[in-house]
Amino acid sequence: MNGFNLLHDTRGAAEIETQIERLGIALAINWDDEVQVRMLAREALYHSGEALAQFSQHHDDYQQKAKIELFGLAALMMQIMANSADEGVHTHGGAAWKSFSRALMHEMGDATD
């Protein structure tokens, strides 16, 4: 995650989107599968501390590393969207970003049905 800028520029969003897509491939995430993405969002919101604890025990597990990085990107992604919204700018990435952010917002109770 080093090098990502918290500004709401298009390039930063594109870099985060690319990394989210890569991690999605490593974790076999189907961003079109709403149930799978919502479960991942729930885990990101409620178990990220637990994932970090497991990482210290299983530091060679590439899937655990990928999940921890994805959770960090989720936090960064949500912060970028909040910062840009505060400035009246709508910042987002592509399909994976939109799918994951929508699931995260829903799991946080901020989504409208």
The whole-number pLDDT of residue 40 equals 92
What secondary structure does DSSP assign to 20-76, as a single string?
Answer: HHHHHHHTT--TT-HHHHHHHHHHHHHSHHHHHHHHHH-TT-HHHHHHHHHHHHHHH
pLDDT digits (tens, 9 = 90+) for 18-53: 999 999 999 999 999 999 999 999 988 876 566 566
DSSP 94: S
pLDDT of 61 over the 70 cut: yes
| Contacts of 83 by beta carbon, 8 Å cutoff, 6+ apart | 6, 7, 8
Backbone angles phi, psi at 79, to 5 degrees: -65, -40
d(CA 26, CA 46): 21
CA atoms within 13 A on the CB side of 37: 22
The whole-number pLDDT of residue 83 equals 78
User: Could you state, in order of their start, the residue ranges of all structural domains in the chain?
Assistant: 36-108
